[in-house]
């Protein structure tokens, strides 16, 4: 019996990987996605069948927003039973946000969804697009005992495969643009493609895919800095329709202990607005109560974001608010890992 080839769906949303230079203006603009496949004849050497679908109007990732996350999720939902894996081409600037969001939206995912892109356009002589795309498709088509080897939302860039909701964009100029500072790499591409199976997410395979499309955008990020004024903090916390705030604190979750600051947070929490404490540091974790300067936050009911990234914190908040989870249940669920986004 001849083993059938795996089927991969390539989803193009926009981004540098599918752009060309406009010779009149010198700026980059999106081009017809079908030309992308013409520019990489090596794709025909891969042992899988590749189908493609593109956003009708490809977007720069700076314009990414939740309604586009829903579009990507719906494309995967519609094609879920026809394909063994999915590769999403996306601009790098907001890729970590989108990968994080999709990890929460695609509940009980049992197939790979690999995000990738590039720092240079596909037509550039020194482009990183070809390797990123080819290896992403290879990773998405990997099978183990007739089933997809990877069953989660990932991000592949410059020889490394990461859990999507653990990534941050660390560099705007280097090819190695992304990092996962609080969780090990899932795979590394060298002469051989080495998968770190012990770190892969293991979903409940008895449950069917559920696509969560309700996302609530009524959130804010408040980054603390020495000298931040009461007026600035109040202007953020008094925003109309606000439901949750991500508080970026110092180090292991520390903040000023001045009475006016703590009182504002207490009032905000008493109004039913959730406050999540995450660290400003690229790596590491919030440990509320470890220092005196964070023990007060613990007492007044601030939620610990532990070692979650800002990108995943945003996505998890929008997802959970969309589920209408309230009160103490919200705190319990937020502080627990749902898709491997925190330790």
* Active-site choice (6, 13, 16, 309): 16
Q: For the residues 129-157, what does the mean pLDDT come to?
A: 94
Q: What is the percentage of the chain residues whose pLDDT exceeds 90?
A: 73
Q: Which two tokens stand for residue 143?
A: 């099978």
Q: What is the per-residue pLDDT for 267?
A: 97
Task: Examine the pLDDT at 310 and tell me if it is beyond 90.
Answer: yes
Average pLDDT over residues 173-201: 92
| pLDDT tens-digit readout, 55-64 | 988 888 999 9
Interaxial angle between packed helices 292-300 and 259-270, expressed in degrees from 0 to 180 and rounded to the nearest 10: 20
Tally of CB atoms within 10 A around 191:
5
pLDDT digits (tens, 9 = 90+) for 211-230: 999 999 999 999 999 999 99
The pLDDT of residue 126:
82
Which range among 37-41, 162-166, 335-339 shows the weakest confidence by mean pLDDT?
37-41
Q: CA 186 → CA 64, 102, 114, 131, 303, distances in Å?
A: 26, 18, 12, 17, 28
- Decide: helix, strand or coil at residue 294: helix
The mean of the pLDDT values for the chain is 91
Instruction: Dig out the tokens for 107 from the structure.
Output: 């509940």
Buried-state track 314-334, b at ≥16 Cβ within 10 A, e below 16: bbbbbbbbbeeeeeeebbeeb
User: Which residues, other chains included, contact 112 with Cβ-Cβ below 8 Å and sequence gap of 6+?
Assistant: 85, 86, 139, 140, 142, 148, 149, 150, 151, 152, 154
Return all residues near 233 (Cβ < 8 A) that are at least 6 apart.
222, 261, 264
**Which is more confidently placed, 251 or 326?**
251
Position 129 scores a pLDDT of: 82
Average pLDDT, stretch 282-311?
90
Average pLDDT of the residues in 131-160 = 94
Separation between Cα atoms, residue 260 and residue 256, nearest integer Å: 10
Strand order in the sheet with 274-279: 219-223, 244-249, 274-279, 303-304
| Residue 16 a catalytic site member | yes
**Cα distance from N-terminal residue to C-terminal residue, the chain:** 44
Calpha distance 270→268 (Å, rounded) = 5
Tens digits of residue pLDDT in 2-51: 567 999 999 999 888 877 667 677 776 666 666 656 767 788 788 899 99
3-state secondary structure of 67: helix
Residue closest to 293 by CA, chosen among 250, 248, 252, 256: 256
What is residue 57's DSSP assignment? S
Judged against a pLDDT cut of 80, whether residue 294 lies above it is answered with: no
Q: Mind listing the domains of the chain with CATH numbers? A: 6-211 (3.40.50.1170), 219-334 (3.40.50.40)
pLDDT tens-digit profile of 77-133? 999 999 999 999 999 999 999 999 999 999 999 999 999 999 887 767 788 888 999
Whole-model pTM over 0.85: yes
How does DSSP classify residue 164? G
Which DSSP letter does residue 304 get? Answer: E
**Per-residue confidence (pLDDT) for residue 32, from 0 to 100:** 61
Q: Which of 11, 188, 13 is nearest to 86 (CA)?
A: 11
| 284 pLDDT more than 60 | yes
Q: Looking at residue 1, what is its pLDDT?
A: 46
* Selected residue with higher pLDDT from 293 and 51: 51
Higher-confidence position of 120 and 168: 168
């Amino acid at each position: 019996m001849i083993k059938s080839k795996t089927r991969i769906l390539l989803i193009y949303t926009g981004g540098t990987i599918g752009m060309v230079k406009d010779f009149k203006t010198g700026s980059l603009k999106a081009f017809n996605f079908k030309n992308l496949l013409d520019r990489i004849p090596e794709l025909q050497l891969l042992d899988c069948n590749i189908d493609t679908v593109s956003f009708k109007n490809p977007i720069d990732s700076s314009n990414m927003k939740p309604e586009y996350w829903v579009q990507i999720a719906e494309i995967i939902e519609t094609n879920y039973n026809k394909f063994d894996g999915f590769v999403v081409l996306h601009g790098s600037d907001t890729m970590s946000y989108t990968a994080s969001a999709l990890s929460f939206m695609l509940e009980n995912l049992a197939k790979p969804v690999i995000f990738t892109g590039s720092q240079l356009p596909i037509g550039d002589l020194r482009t990183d697009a070809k390797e990123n795309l080819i290896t992403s498709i290879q990773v998405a088509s990997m099978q183990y005992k007739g089933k997809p080897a990877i069953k989660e939302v990932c991000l592949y860039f410059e020889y490394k495969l990461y859990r999507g909701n653990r990534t941050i964009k660390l560099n705007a100029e280097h090819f190695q643009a992304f990092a996962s500072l609080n969780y090990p790499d899932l795979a590394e591409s060298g002469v051989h493609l080495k998968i770190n199976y012990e770190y892969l997410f293991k979903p409940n395979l008895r449950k069917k895919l559920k696509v969560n499309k309700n996302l609530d955008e009524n959130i804010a990020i408040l980054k603390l800095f020495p000298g931040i004024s009461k007026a600035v903090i109040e202007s953020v916390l008094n925003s109309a329709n606000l439901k949750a705030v991500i508080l970026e604190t110092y180090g292991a979750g520390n903040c000023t202990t001045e009475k006016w600051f703590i009182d504002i947070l207490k009032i905000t929490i008493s109004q039913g607005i959730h406050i999540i404490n995450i660290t400003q540091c690229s790596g590491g974790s919030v440990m509320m109560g470890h220092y005196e300067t964070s023990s007060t936050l613990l007492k007044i009911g601030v939620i610990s974001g532990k070692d979650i990234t800002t990108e995943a914190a945003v996505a998890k908040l929008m997802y959970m608010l969309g589920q209408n989870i309230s009160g103490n249940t919200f705190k319990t669920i937020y502080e627990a890992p749902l898709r491997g986004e925190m330790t």
